C-alpha cells in the first residue's frame, strides 16, 4: 500500500474556501436578515410625523378612496388619523374586508 502524503496546497485551498463560505453567509445574513422597518427607501413616510402627501390630500378632501392592498392600519399611518377614530367615523366599516374603490370618511 502506498504511503499517504498530504498535499499542502489542497489544505490551504480548503481553509480559504471555508473562510470564503463563512464570509458569504455572514454577509447574506447581515443584509437580508435585518427587519428594521426599512423598505429600501420605498417607504412613503420615512421618519416623519404626520400624514404623507397622499394622506394629507385625502384629509383635505375628507375622504380616503381604498386602493388595492390598503389596510386600515396603513390608511391610519398615511392620514395621521387613529384607527379607532376611523372606525368611529365609519361605523359600518369592516376593517378586515376593505374593497377597492370604497370611500372612508376622514372627518
The pTM of this model reads: 0.50
Residue 42 is predicted with a pLDDT of 47
Could you tell me if residue 5 is inside a domain? no
Residue 86 lies in a domain: yes
pLDDT at 43: 47
pLDDT along the chain (107 residues), means of 10: 82 93 89 57 49 75 86 89 91 88 87
Distance of alpha carbon 50 from alpha carbon 97, whole angstroms: 26
Mode of pairing for the β-strands spanning 63-65 and 103-105: antiparallel
Structurally, the chain folds into a number of domains equal to 1
Structural domain boundaries enclosing 89: 53-105
For residue 20, the model assigns a pLDDT of: 94
The number of CA neighbours under 13 Å toward the Cβ of 42 is 2
| Residues contacting 93, CB < 8 A, separation 6+ | 72, 86, 87, 104
Residue 95: predicted pLDDT? 85
- How much is the pLDDT for 32? 77
Would you say residue 35 lies in a domain? no
Q: Which CATH number covers residue 79?
A: 3.10.350.10
pLDDT of residue 57: 77
Q: Looking at the domain assignment, is residue 77 inside a domain?
A: yes
Question: In DSSP terms, which residues pair with 65 in a beta bridge?
Answer: 103
The per-residue pLDDT for 47 is: 45
The residues pairing with 63 across neighbouring beta strands, listed in sequence order, are: 105
- Residue 18 falls within a domain, yes or no? no
> Residue 64 falls within a domain, yes or no?
yes
State the chain's maximal CA–CA distance in angstroms: 91
Evaluate whether residue 94 is within a structural domain.
yes
Q: Looking at the domain assignment, is residue 12 inside a domain?
A: no
Amino acid at each position: 500500500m502506498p504511503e499517504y502524503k498530504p498535499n499542502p496546497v489542497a489544505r490551504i485551498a480548503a481553509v480559504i474556501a471555508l473562510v470564503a463560505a463563512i464570509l458569504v453567509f455572514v454577509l447574506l445574513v447581515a443584509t437580508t436578515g435585518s427587519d428594521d422597518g426599512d423598505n429600501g427607501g420605498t417607504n412613503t413616510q420615512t421618519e416623519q410625523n404626520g400624514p404623507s402627501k397622499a394622506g394629507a390630500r385625502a384629509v383635505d378632501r375628507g375622504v380616503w378612496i381604498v386602493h388595492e392592498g390598503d389596510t386600515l392600519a396603513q390608511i391610519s399611518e398615511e392620514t395621521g388619523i387613529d384607527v379607532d377614530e376611523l372606525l368611529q367615523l365609519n361605523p359600518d366599516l369592516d376593517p378586515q374586508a376593505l374593497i377597492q374603490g370604497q370611500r372612508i370618511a376622514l372627518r
